[in-house]
Structure 1
């Protein structure tokens, strides 16, 4: 037992020693497993249900499947055919199990087989004679085994069960599994070489390396130490195993069985310490932490130490929007940029920059915090403490020195919003150091993060090696994740204000003189050369349409080779007299060679979730860089247009006119009269009932239908009365926010609310809520 705690051939858990197996220190030694050969096999807690299921399928005498040979041959072919289809194999195994449980006599050896059930905590019982009559010959032959016992102890006869039950031990199960026919193993969807049923029984217990169960040495107890739960349970299992192995002739069977049962339970507790035990065992049980508890849950190895962990070089603050940033940029506060550092190697290409960073020091951005010289590796010098020697340190920089500098513009950072539900919840951005105290990014990227700006916080991580930066740029960059893997459609696209501005910009009535057009184009001239196209109207003054200016989002100049072609018919008006390009509502979008010839741009053309989309076409035909650049141009131009044109919403946009109020009152009067008519018909017994409903239910349906029609009619009249420049209507029609139903509810009437298809019931006397009469 002493060797279990102190032996070093299974790895080490202390810094001042080395492993006797691999000779490495604690940082490099992975640990080495040992094992204990159990003298009696035990059940594996994780496979216990599978063992019970297999025992229900096989004969308890000859270990053959309880099926006829031709049925076994049929299932064998089916199993080999579905070798790679998990669902079909699972369904087949369920069918085999159900068929076998109905068989009482083995078709191979004619032995009697009863019901096999599990008994808490980890026992298997076999009710061999369940359902058999008392005068059954096989049952009487079995009960005759107890005759000699009853003769010596007559009192035992009252304790004998009326329905004999056999307890099946793991050793007996292992013997049956070893005797199974290979064809039967195949029918059970297992493999004779790699996943034989005998492998579900534990005969050899692995002993975890020392690094998995480290000893905690205490200064208070000089000779002793506090051992891990895994070590304590393993030690107890070894003790019980030795007790079972060295049983003598004078050993009582009861004591031996008790030791074996406790060993079985502790092997299960070693795997999962939360299994349910009988009350008599549960009271004496200690609170252990098994392997399952170390792996699962929020504090487990996967979620607590691998998928998520506490890290250095990370920051967190509130987010805010900035349409001026490109979609792959993130604005980082200068205070954060001074705290996050990146170790950069001095080379011939950057030595002058590194000297300037050392001169700036840790308090001026961009600056440097630490210096590690090539001649003294592993020793970092704080530039803050050597500030008076900064000129000397700067001049003595050599190639190969390591500078821990501030986060700078263009550095690759990882941006994350929790909860991280899919892979696009963390993406790589290019840093841009800005004043103030919030992270800023383009609103187009809100979709994959599911972010809004009502106080959300996000995390920013700075990779510390060139390999990590290259991997982030290649796999996690925003421009590489424009499309969701779920459906193949865009997940990053224009949102809200960008859609509203683009919709208003591309209407038929929008014209711009030269100064206004140039002001708009200046907003997108930062990253590319922009050419003003010929005006659409020459006399009496030169005017450009909004469609012409929006076309420059896709192709800023003649030298640009991007030529987008797109056709999208969004017209849903059945009364529209003209189709295609002549659509009266301008809902037919035609883009030819990157020129918007007709149609207004709305959410379906530049938003996320669509494939008939300008950005999706750019991504498919010209690559991610062009699509990302076009998104930035849309955000800049639409924002600039809204700043020039103005866009706001007030109570005046949602105030009903006198004619609308009169129409609403007329609708309500007619609706109430119709409902009263239905009620009179019910009281007179003249109401025709609907199929499957009684009179009251029919009345409820008819009233709900009438009141719902009132809302629809009022909403339709409301939308028809609104002017085309109404702000709420513009947002609803363009798809940036809300819908026509929201507008009609705000202006005309909320309408009848339904709960489970019925009107709101009266919870109180003559009223539904306590605060309204």
Structure 2
């Protein structure tokens, strides 16, 4: 509010203490502004953490305590029918362990034309994997005296209904680029809905088996969409009325590059894929948002600073490291810390065999060795200044029996 007043009316509150613009526009006096700034300063000073505070233990307690109360309900996704996504404890485990392959990868793709449902269906057809068997009426063997081939009849009505940009020429190119070892000369296009695929073989026996292999493999040839995307669902937001795509699969870069998708607003719940595609900062944001969404879906809230600390710990090395024995080994080279986590004997034997050294500067190492850790009052070293030792003055006595007059 103060910055808005400064920019709009060119008023500097520090120079013009009695400016009428503040009272006329915001109905505030200078004393109220001063009091407001004083309250802000007090709140900020209270929010600053004390030096030596065990923030890691507080963060672990803040995330772990609600996690014990979380239900073990695995599949739950509010607001979207027939869309399953892993939630609860299994999802938290996937995030913290930084799993490369998760059980239900979901990509949320925002559209450039988010108000038109037909445009959303068109983009869905470009992303969702479509096979030749899904858009074909039939695939049958045809034997004639001088040739034999597989006749493919396309279902044009289904192609138009799914808004697929597919032609017989595109289908022929997809068949050639597949692993079936088919050449362009083996494919003949008879009409807009009929094409044939011949079996190129020398002998009649091998030609028969080759034809059977083609009949079994041709329905699985991908003719449209991204091969790793198994399913896409059009979701309409009830509040804004805009459409978006919820995509099951792993190929964030392919989805972002699809025509009609707003690549700057695509999100994925796979932290590892986000890191490989968009970088470490995007992976850090994904960890924070996924932990928050998972907890809030079960009615639990965590302070954002705790999720930020967890995300920082997993990404400060420049790569996504899970809280596992492999991730901890890359975070720190402390043998005692790794031994206190998992496989104690194995870590100690390897460290002794290779002659490794431990600086003993972490919490676990200090507890094992029984020395003060660098937390709380142990964060600093207390020394005694011995340059000029103080002279200790004795308290005067009433009667000094060592005086000469008392000795006699």
> TM-score under structure 2 normalisation?
0.23
> TM-score under structure 1 normalisation?
0.14
Q: Which has the larger radius of gyration?
A: 1
- Which structure is higher in RCO with an 8 Å CA cutoff and minimum separation 6? 2
